[in-house]
Amino acid sequence: ANPAFFLIMKNHFPGTNYESMQQNMIQALVDEHFHTSMHMSANFATKRMRGLDDLILPHSISYRAFVQAQGNADSQWQRDLLTVVWAIVSEISINAYLTLLEEATEIQPLHAKIAKAHNLDEYGHAKVCFEVAKSIYANMNKAQKRYFVDYLPLALEAFVANDYSVWSGTLEQLG
C-alpha cells in the first residue's frame, strides 16, 4: 500500500490534490509502517523461538499477480495505476482476513492480538481508500478508467485467492 499512498500524497493522480487527502495519505503511510513493524517483530520472535531463523518464504499470490500485471504493463501510468488498484483492493478487503486472524484460537496469541490492533486501523483505511478510488476514477480519462475497471477484479481475485505456497515452502524446508 505504501507506494500507492506515496503516489497519491504527491498528487500523482487526478483528483488527489486536496490537503485532507494528503493528510490522510501521510497518516496511512505511518500506519502501514507501524503494521509492518508489529507483524515482523512477532514473526521474528516466533521464528527465533521455533528455530526457524533460516526459513525463506515465497511472496504471496497477491504480490506475484501484481508483479505479473506490472510486467505486462506498457507504460509508467499503467504501472502506477496498478499500484493504486492493488492497494485499494487490499485496503478495502484486508479486514475480513484480519478478523479471521484476530478471532483464531489456533494461532499464537501474540499474532492474534497484533491482527486485532492492525484491523482497527484498517477500518479507517478502507473508508479513505474507497473515497480515494472514487476521486481518482472520477477524474481519469477514458483509457485510464478502462484500465482501472479491467484490473480491479484481477486484483481482488489475487487478494482473496487461497495461497498455499507459504505452507508448501515451509514444509519443504522443514523436510
Report which of residues 103 and 173 the model is more confident about.
103
Q: What DSSP character marks residue 10?
A: T
Q: What is the pTM of this model?
A: 0.90
Task: Give me the amino acid identity at 57.
Answer: L
Longest dimension (CA), the chain: 54
Mind listing the pLDDT tens digit for each residue in 130-166? Answer: 999 999 999 999 999 999 999 999 999 999 998 898 8
Mind listing the pLDDT tens digit for each residue in 22-57? Answer: 999 999 999 999 999 999 999 999 889 988 888 888
Terminus-to-terminus CA distance in the chain, angstroms?
34
| Cell numbers representing residue 85 in the block | 488498484
What is the predicted pLDDT for the residue at 94? 92
Residue among 65, 82, 62, 74 at smallest CA distance from 136: 82
